[in-house]
Amino acid sequence: DAKTTQPNSMESNEEEPVHLPCNHSTISGTDYIHWYRQLPSQGPEYVIHGLTSNVNNRMASLAIAEDRKSSTLILHRATLRDAAVYYCILRDGSGAGSYQLTFGKGTKLSVIP
């Protein structure tokens, strides 16, 4: 399976934008890029996903490099509630496999008031 690399931790000031990077140099043409986050003492929750084009939703934006070997999750104004572990996950879109989410270690985001 294609793997992802994320920084272990990042800090942000409240109400500032946050850019969370993810490298996935071995991504295949059918892999979708998903982001989930896990708030303290909760189950993971979906944030956003994309294939080639940049994506926006109410929670965040996803910027995907032209060669798709990296992507960046953008939180436009960090709040204290955004403090969580953020996981960048590749999911095979070819139709094979168990459709599981393969979680790495993720990036622990701390938000400073």
Partner 1 sequence: EAQVTQNPRYLITVTGKKLTVTCSQNMNHEYMSWYRQDPGLGLRQIYYSMNVEVTDKGDVPEGYKVSRKEKRNFPLILESPSPNQTSLYFCASSFVAASTDTQYFGPGTRLTVL
Contact footprint for partner 1 (CB under 8 A)? 32, 36, 41-46, 49, 91-93, 98-101, 103-106
Please report how close the Cβ of residue 17 comes to partner 1 at its closest, in angstroms.
Answer: 24
What minimum distance in Å lies between the beta carbon of 57 and partner 1? 11
**Smaller CB separation from partner 1, 39 or 80:** 39
Closer residue to partner 1 in complex, CB, 37/82: 37
Token pair for 16: 């500032």
Nearer to partner 1, 5 or 100 (CB): 100
